[in-house]
Amino acid sequence: MVEEQGLSEIHTPVMLERTIELLAPALEQPGAVLVDATLGMGGHAEAFLTRFPELVLIGLDRDLDALAIAGERLSAFGDRVRLVHTVYDRFAEAIEGIGVESVQAILFDLGVSSLQLDRVERGFSYSKDAPLDMRMDATSELTAERILAEYSEADLRRIFRDYGEERLAPRYAQRIVQRRQEEPIVRSAQLVEIITAATPVAIQRKGHPAKRVFQALRIEVNQELAVLERAIPEALDSLAVGGRIVVLAYQSLEDRLVKRCLAAASSSSAPAGLPVELPEHAPQLKLLVRGAELASEEEKQRNPRSIPVRLRAAERVRAAV
């Protein structure tokens, strides 16, 4: 049995009240459907189901452990909850499988979950020794250990640079390839030792030297950016007119991708110089916040995991053609 106290200790939903405030206008109509595309342990979901007594929630997650915990946590809401084991770029397939064509609200709370971070054996953290796994879905095949063992030096350099925005990517890739010729790299402590030894002391003083490498490996293992790039447009296509979407992103690569998708859908597609904008060129979305909103200082103090969050939100104002 999942203890409520334990859940609250390891999972505090980020920007919960602001998320509810933004999605509420779309959820107050009878029969509204909210898709929580990153269900996790169900913290946001539980709050929405409690605040909106007629709401139906579809929860998606690739992590079977998270689905089990959320299923227990949300069991009191009965058939108002439908849970689906899937990656969120299969958004349309997931809701169609439940018999839903369009939805009134969508929430994406991106990145690694509290459950994944806090369970040492999952291997997401550079601060604790564990097997180099990093899979959000334990049924998938690719692990961080496999990447470090099988990727070429050029590919390691690429993912550290592109997904970790790591300036020392060439040095780290070279050292990893050298070390794996001597012994398999199978634990996080081994990787941390390699990265630390390759990092100048002056740079180490600015933060943990392995942080960006671990981020890059996690993104590659779970194909997070590729999945997100497919998922946002697919989710928007499922949003009813008047429906709203909120996205919480925790690192700049995700946030830039979300910003680009929402900006494109909230801009006119009319060719330059067209004297009159035709209806099919009008924006499909209206942005609900200026730029990206940050958590309040009070929330950052209370919940450190809210410090890097960037919130973006939009409302569908025109049906897709």
Known binding residues: 42-44, 61, 88, 109, 116
CB 88 within 8 A of CB 37: yes
* Residue 245: partners with Cβ closer than 8 Å, 6 or more residues away: 105, 106, 107, 108, 235, 236, 239, 313, 314, 315, 316
Collapsed DSSP state (helix, strand, coil) of residue 5: helix
State the binding site for S-adenosyl-L-methionine: 42-44, 61, 88, 109, 116
Phi, psi of 82 (to 5 degrees): -125, 120
Query: What phi, psi does 89 have (nearest 5°)?
Result: -80, 0
Distance of alpha carbon 86 from alpha carbon 123, whole angstroms = 21
Are 92 and 237 in contact, with CB atoms under 8 Å apart?
yes
Longest distance between any two alpha carbons in the chain, whole Å: 68
CA distances 178 to 164, 189, 287, 305, 310, Å, are: 21, 17, 49, 35, 38
Among the listed residues 240, 314, 320, the one whose alpha carbon sits nearest the alpha carbon of residue 280:
320
Q: Are strands 310-316 and 285-287 parallel, antiparallel or unpaired?
A: antiparallel
